[in-house]
A and B are shown apart, each in its own frame.
Chain A
Amino acid sequence: MRHTRIAAAIGIAWFTLNLALIAYATRLGLFLSPTDAMQGNIGRVFFYHVPTSIWALVFPYINFIASVFYLYWRRRDPLKALTADAWALASAEITVVYATICLWTGMLWGRAEWGIWWTWDARLTSMLLLWLLYVSYLMLRKFSSTGQTYTLAAVLSIFAAVDVPIVYESIRLWPTQHPAPVFYGAPGTGLDKSMYPAFNWNILAWGMWGIFLLVFRYTLERRRQASEQDAALAAIEASLEIAQ
Chain B
Amino acid sequence: MKLAWLFGPTLEQRHLLLVYLSVWLIQGGYFAWLATQWLRTIRNPPSTSGPPSQPSR
Please name all residues of chain A whose beta carbon is closer than 8 Å to the beta carbon of B23 when the two chains form the complex: 48, 52, 101, 105
B6 CB contacts on chain A under 8 angstroms: 30
Chain B contacts with A in 5-49, Cβ cutoff 8 A: 5-6, 11-13, 15-16, 18-20, 22-23, 26-27, 30-31, 34, 37-38, 41, 45-49
Which of the 9-residue segments A120-128, A183-191, A224-232 touches chain B? A224-232
Q: Max chain A CB contacts within 10 Å: which of B23, B50, B53, B54? A: B23
- B55 near A235: Cβ-Cβ < 8 Å: no
Q: Known contacts A142-B56, A228-B53, A231-B50; decide if A220 and B37 are in contact (CB<8 Å).
A: yes
Size range of the interface on B? 20 to 34
Q: In the complex, are the beta carbons of B52 and A232 less than 8 A apart?
A: yes
SS class, residues of chain A in contact with chain B: helix
User: Chain B interface: which of A38-46, A56-64, A67-75, A155-163?
Assistant: A38-46
> Nearest residue in B to A52 (C-beta to C-beta)?
B23
Interface string of A94-136 (1 = CB under 8 A from B): 0001001100110011011000000000000000000000000
CB-defined A-B contacts under 8 Å, sample of 24: A30-B20, A41-B12, A41-B16, A44-B16, A45-B15, A49-B19, A52-B23, A97-B27, A101-B23, A101-B26, A105-B22, A108-B15, A111-B15, A112-B15, A141-B56, A142-B56, A150-B55, A213-B34, A216-B31, A227-B46, A228-B55, A231-B52, A231-B53, A235-B52
B-binding residues in A (CB < 8 A):
26-27, 30-31, 40-42, 44-45, 48-49, 52, 89, 93, 97, 100-101, 104-105, 108-109, 111-112, 138, 141-143, 145, 149-150, 209, 213, 216-217, 220-221, 223-224, 227-235, 238
